[in-house]
Copies of this chain bind each other. A is one copy, B any other.
Amino acid sequence: MLKIGDFARIARVTVKTLRHYACEGLLEPVYIDRYSGYRYYTIDQLPTLNRILALKDLGFSLAQIRQLLRETLTAEELRGMLRMKQIELRQTVECESERLQRVEERLQMIDREGSVSVSEILFCRGGDAAGKHTQKETGMEPVRFETLPAFKVMGMKYRGDNANQEIAQMWGVLNPRAHEIPMTGECAYGVCLMLPGESTGVFEYIAGFKVEEYDHVPEGMMVIDVPENRYAVFAHRGSLETLKDTYAAICDDWFPRAGYKPAGGYDMEVYTDEFRSFSPDSVFYIYEPVK
């Protein structure tokens, strides 16, 4: 029978940790004095503690370790947990590696360009930053980078080159029917896919709303899966007529200047304003997939 301090010294952990594990039901003392409340351990509990620490070393949470400590644990269950952890760790490593890469790109940019504005450093990635187009000159708000998880959009599809404002008309048709869509969130999404191999300017455009669960797809509508992606986000303020200019600025000015390349995936327009009418002060966003 060891007092908590002795057991902690022997086990090379802190007293706080032992108390915490006891409280979490991971390692109960073999005996607790009813009168004093003192916790008593035995040396036989050391292997259990070591098992806890080994599992923690593999990245499991205390709640998961509680599951893994059960007597009835089979090798199959352990494998399942390890598989999950493997996937999780791969994502973590990938995510942090990409973040590291972004930091290193910013550092290289500073070393290469010398003194540039913080804004330039944050929102461009490389290329010829000496071409001093500020975002105000091109009519864009400073961009943002955002990684969106996968989601679904329900709405109506158009295919063509939008020569006669068919897309605006489609929104006009869709909006009165918006109540048919079990939307989550308050944004309207225009998901746009340029069609390679087609004549210039032909694209598919799905106008719709984000959904999570749905019973059926209303007549004339469809659902599209938008995969997880990282986007450069541009703000467009003003009417839809100047949208073309903003796109031109993004593609011809920002993309080559920043050294990013458009990645595969869907372009998106995200309307956060009152999406039933576009006032001249409307702000909405253009999401361009980047890698």
Contact = CB atoms under 8 A, between A and B. Distances in A.
Interface of A: 9-10, 12, 43, 46-47, 50-51, 53-55, 57-59, 68, 73, 75, 78-79, 82-83, 85-86, 89-90, 92-93, 96-97, 99-100, 102-104, 106-107, 110-111, 114-116, 118-119, 121-123, 141-146, 186, 233, 235, 270, 272-273, 283, 285
Nearest to A101: B89
B122 A55 contact: yes
B53 A144 contact: yes
Contact of A145 (B57, B73, B123): B57
Q: Which of A50, A235, A272, A283 has the most CB of B within 10 A?
A: A50
A276 to B, nearest CB: 14
**By DSSP majority rule, is chain A's interface helix, strand, loop, or mixed?**
helix
Contact of A106 (B82, B104, B285): B82
Given A58-B99, A58-B103, 17 more contacts: A10-B272, A10-B273, A10-B283, A12-B272, A46-B141, A47-B142, A53-B144, A53-B146, A54-B144, A78-B121, A79-B107, A82-B106, A85-B103, A86-B100, A86-B103, A89-B99, A89-B100
B99 A82 contact: no
Contacts of A93: 93, 96-97, 100
A195 B267 CA distance: 63
Contacts of A75: 110, 114-116, 118, 121
15 contacts: A12-B146, A46-B141, A47-B142, A51-B122, A54-B123, A55-B122, A57-B102, A57-B145, A58-B99, A82-B107, A85-B103, A86-B103, A89-B99, A93-B100, A96-B96
A173 to B, nearest CB: 24
A232 to B, nearest CB: 11
A82 B96 contact: no
A97 B97 CA distance: 10
Contacts of A102: 57-58
B107 A235 contact: no
Contacts of A233: 12
A54 B86 CA distance: 29
Nearest to A117: B75
Given A78-B121, A86-B107, A103-B85, A142 B58 contact: no
B99 A59 contact: yes
A186 B100 contact: no
A8 B12 CA distance: 49
